[in-house]
Structures are given as C-alpha cells and as structure tokens.
C-alpha cells in the first residue's frame, strides 16, 4: 500500500491529467455531485455519490452507431466509431464499481458489444472507499463491501491523507507512473477506517435487508405474486429509476433523419415505458403492472438466473432517493420477502 499526503492529492490529479483525461465527482451548479473532467482548479466533491451513476463512461445515454448516406440508388454505410483515448475515473464508489461487473456480463459476452468493450479497455477505474454511507445504501445486501471497493486502484481516506492500493495491472501501471508522489505504508490506518465504516453500515436502517424470496430459480413464484398490483399501483411510468440506475442496461436503436442521410444511434431505454420492446404484434406488457414487474423481475430473478446467482442491483440507493413517488426496489424486496399480502 502507498500513501499520498493530503496536500498532494491535486498533484496526483495533475500528473494523471497531463497524460490522459481524468474524470471525478465535482459539485455542479445545483450542488449535486456529477462526474466532470478535471483541470487545474476543479475540486473533488465530498458528497457520498454522484447523482447520475458512473455507467455513463462505458454505456453513455446516447451514442451514434453508424451513418448512412444516400446518393441516388447508392447507400454508403459509414462507421462513425472513433478511436477511444485512455481515460481515468477517480472516486467511483464500491456499488458503482460492482455495477461494471454486471454490465460486463451483458456487454462482454458473445456477441461482444465492441462500442462498450472499446471504452472499457481504455478506462482505468480508481475507486474511493465510502466514509459516510447514507440511509439509502444497501450495497451489503448484495455482498458488496463499501469499505473495500474493487476497481484498478482502491483509495481510502485516512486521517492525514489517502492510502492507495493497486489491484490490477492497469492500476500498477498508473501508480508506477506517479510513484514519486507516494510513500510506503502498512495497512493499519486502512483497517481502522474499514472497521469504522463497517460499524456504521451495520447501524443503517437497511443493514438487515436480505434477498429472501427472490433470486435464481424463482421465476414462476415471484412472477405470480399478487402484490405486484399494489406495488405498481402509483408508479408513474417515468424512467427516472432506470436512468439513474448504474445497472440498468437496456437500450433502443433509432434512426435520425439528418436531411441528407441517416444517423443510427442508440439511447437508453426503460422497461417502464409504454413502447419498450414494442413489436409489430403489439406491446407485450400492456399495463404499468407488467412493466413495473419486469424491472424488478429482471434485477432480482432473471439476472441471477442467467448469471450464477449475481443480482442485477448493487444497492446504490439512487432509485430510493429519486423516484417521484418513493416506490423502489427495497419496498419490492421487503414485500416479496414477507410472503404476506401487503
């Protein structure tokens, strides 16, 4: 483990930014943390997490896939993919770091999504262990340790600085390039910090949330639960929960008529929308009940079913704080666990 003194954090940022683009959480004009590109003078946000998740780096909300140019009867297909430069993301929390594994399970399996893979290969992820979790956090439910996040490098706040640990080759390389800023240290301060945070997490209201009643192999049981009706009753069918979620991965492909050709792009889609997976035969999920159920079945049953039991939620709590009507995955899980009739 290596230590960086408090005063040298911005030297570290400058050293990275001299070579590649560095993104980190910054407070925006309305005081919310948002990933922005670092340059001299930009300050790291001290908030727990960013309002939008870090998935944007690898799976952006909109992305041009290709273009078509028409001339008479000739159609030219233009590959609009650009070479992706190396970049570094600093300050990713354990939950969001775990969401990358979930996205990988979708986009890096056959057929590999080359757009996603390209960015994934060029990105280095520096995670930042949480110091002050919120009541909406339930990463622990999915076995994610907020005090020991993954990523290429892990950073902990300690009393008089930061402790860094490289976890991968990419991480080693980056630390080697900035080695003169660091000094050697043992893991004592980190252990103390971890104990403190784990103790806080144990006191959080959602600390005892379990995955009882959901998971792989329960498709029929969960699908048929009568509680979906009351759970989905006041859902507005907006897409807020899906758009702030770090693991929601569905997209739509559309064509935009530019007037002198077609731009084919993809953009995030939401299972909460009325035209989601609409086919010529119609909409397979005619009411909000089916759409609502789909979102949670996907995360809590279908995904673990297809992915060795791994759940499609990392417990970041974004949907808890952003849903206009405060309906969310925790309320769904608790209701399903009860087996009652609430």
Partner 1 sequence: MQEMMEKRALELLADGTVNRVLGWSVGEFPYDMTPAVFRSAEDLKDRFVYNDFCGANLSKYLIKESKGEGKILVFLKPCDTYSFNQLIAEHRIKRENVYVIGIECYGKADLEKLKAMGLSGITGIQMKNGEYVVETVYGNKTVKASDATAERCLSCKSKKHVVFDELIGEDGDVVEDCNRFDMVEKLEAMTPDERFAFWRGELSRCIRCNACRNVCPACSCEQCVFDNPNSGVAQKAAVNSFEENMFHIIRAFHVAGRCTDCGECSRVCPQHIPLHLLNRKFIKDMNEFYGEYQAGADPDARPPLGTYTKGDREPNEGGNK
Q: Rule CB under 8 A: which residues touch partner 1?
A: 28-32, 34, 48, 51-52, 61-62, 64, 132-136, 200, 203-206, 230, 233-234, 236-240, 242-244, 252, 254, 256, 263, 265, 267-270, 273-275, 278, 320-322, 324-327, 330-331, 334, 342
- Burial level of 304, CB count in 10 A (0-12/13-18/19+)? buried
Which residue stretches of the chain are H helix?
9-17, 94-107, 114-122, 169-177, 188-203, 219-223, 228-232, 240-244, 288-297, 303-306, 318-322, 329-338
d(CA 34, CA 51): 6
Q: How far is the CB of 223 from partner 1 (least distance, A)?
A: 22
The residues that bridge with 26 in the sheet, in sequence order, are 34
Site residues, ligand SF4 (CB under 6 A):
48-49, 93-95, 130, 133, 137, 139, 146, 235-238, 240-241, 244-247, 272, 299, 313-319, 323-325, 327, 329
Which strands sit side by side in the sheet containing 62-71, from one edge to the other? 74-79, 62-71, 262-268, 251-257
Q: Which does 61 bind (CB under 5 to 8 A by kind): partner 1, ligand SF4, none?
A: partner 1
Q: Which does 51 bind (CB under 5 to 8 A by kind): partner 1, ligand SF4, none?
A: partner 1
Q: Which does 139 bind (CB under 5 to 8 A by kind): partner 1, ligand SF4, none?
A: ligand SF4
φ/ψ of 151, rounded to 5, equals: 105, 175
> In Å, how far from its chain's centre is CA 176?
28
Q: How far is the CB of 341 from ligand SF4 (least distance, A)?
A: 21
φ/ψ of 129, rounded to 5, equals: -60, 145
Q: How far is the CB of 248 from ligand SF4 (least distance, A)?
A: 6
Q: How far is the CB of 75 from ligand SF4 (least distance, A)?
A: 35
d(CA 244, CA 248): 8
Q: Which does 95 bind (CB under 5 to 8 A by kind): partner 1, ligand SF4, none?
A: ligand SF4
- The residue (of 36 and 150) whose beta carbon lies closer to ligand SF4 is 150
Q: How far is the CB of 147 from partner 1 (least distance, A)?
A: 15
- The residue (of 65 and 106) whose beta carbon lies closer to ligand SF4 is 106
d(CA 280, CA 287): 17
Which residue stretches of 150-227 are H helix?
169-177, 188-203, 219-223
φ/ψ of 268, rounded to 5, equals: -50, 145
Q: Which does 80 bind (CB under 5 to 8 A by kind): ligand SF4, partner 1, none?
A: none
φ/ψ of 23, rounded to 5, equals: -115, 140
d(CA 244, CA 239): 9
> In Å, how far from its chain's centre is CA 269?
15
Q: Which does 246 bind (CB under 5 to 8 A by kind): partner 1, ligand SF4, none?
A: ligand SF4
Q: How far is the CB of 36 from ligand SF4 (least distance, A)?
A: 18
- The residue (of 172 and 208) whose beta carbon lies closer to partner 1 is 208
Q: How far is the CB of 52 from ligand SF4 (least distance, A)?
A: 10
Please give the span between the terminal C-alpha atoms of the chain, in angstroms, as a whole number: 50
Q: How far is the CB of 59 from partner 1 (least distance, A)?
A: 12
Q: What is the DSSP string of 252-313?
A: EEEEEE-SSSEEEEEEE--TTSTTTT-BTTB-SS-SHHHHHHHHHHIIIIIHHHHTTT--S-
Q: Which does 81 bind (CB under 5 to 8 A by kind): partner 1, ligand SF4, none?
A: none
- The residue (of 126 and 319) whose beta carbon lies closer to partner 1 is 319
- The residue (of 137 and 190) whose beta carbon lies closer to ligand SF4 is 137
Q: Which does 19 bind (CB under 5 to 8 A by kind): partner 1, ligand SF4, none?
A: none
Q: How far is the CB of 74 from ligand SF4 (least distance, A)?
A: 39
């Amino acid at each position: 483990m290596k230590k960086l003194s408090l005063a040298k954090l911005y030297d570290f940022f400058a050293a990275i930014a001299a070579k590649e683009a560095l993104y980190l959480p910054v407070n925006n004009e309305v005081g919310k943390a948002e990933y922005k590109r670092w340059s001299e003078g930009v300050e790291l946000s001290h908030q727990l997490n960013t309002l939008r998740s870090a998935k944007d780096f690898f799976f952006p909300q909109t992305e041009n896939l290709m273009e078509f140019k028409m001339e008479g009867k000739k159609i030219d297909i233009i590959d609009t993919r650009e070479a992706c430069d190396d970049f570094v993301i600093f300050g990713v929390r354990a939950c969001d770091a775990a969401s990358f594994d979930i996205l990988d399970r979708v986009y890096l399996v056959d057929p590999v999504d080359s757009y996603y893979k390209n960015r994934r290969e060029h990105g280095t992820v520096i995670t930042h262990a949480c110091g002050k979790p919120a009541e909406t956090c339930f990463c622990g439910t999915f076995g994610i340790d907020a005090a020991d996040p993954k990523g290429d490098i892990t950073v902990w706040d300690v009393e008089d600085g930061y402790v860094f640990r490289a976890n991968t080759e990419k991480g080693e390389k980056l630390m080697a390039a900035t080695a003169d800023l660091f000094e050697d240290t043992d893991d004592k301060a980190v252990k103390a910090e971890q104990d403190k945070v784990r103790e806080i997490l144990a006191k959080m209201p959602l600390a005892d949330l379990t995955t009882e009643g959901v998971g792989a192999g329960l498709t029929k049981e969960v699908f048929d639960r009568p509680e979906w009706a009351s759970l989905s009753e006041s859902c507005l069918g907006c897409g807020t929960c899906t758009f702030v979620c770090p693991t929601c991965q569905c997209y739509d492909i559309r064509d935009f008529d530019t007037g002198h050709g077609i731009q084919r792009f993809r953009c995030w889609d939401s299972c909460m929308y009325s035209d989601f997976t609409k086919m010529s035969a119609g909409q397979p999920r005619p009411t909000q009940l089916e759409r609502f159920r789909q979102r949670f079945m996907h995360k809590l049953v279908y995904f673990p079913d297809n992915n060795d039991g791994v759940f499609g939620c990392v417990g970041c709590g974004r949907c808890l704080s952003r849903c206009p009507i405060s309906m969310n995955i925790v309320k769904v899980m608790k209701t399903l666990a009860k087996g009652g009739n609430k």
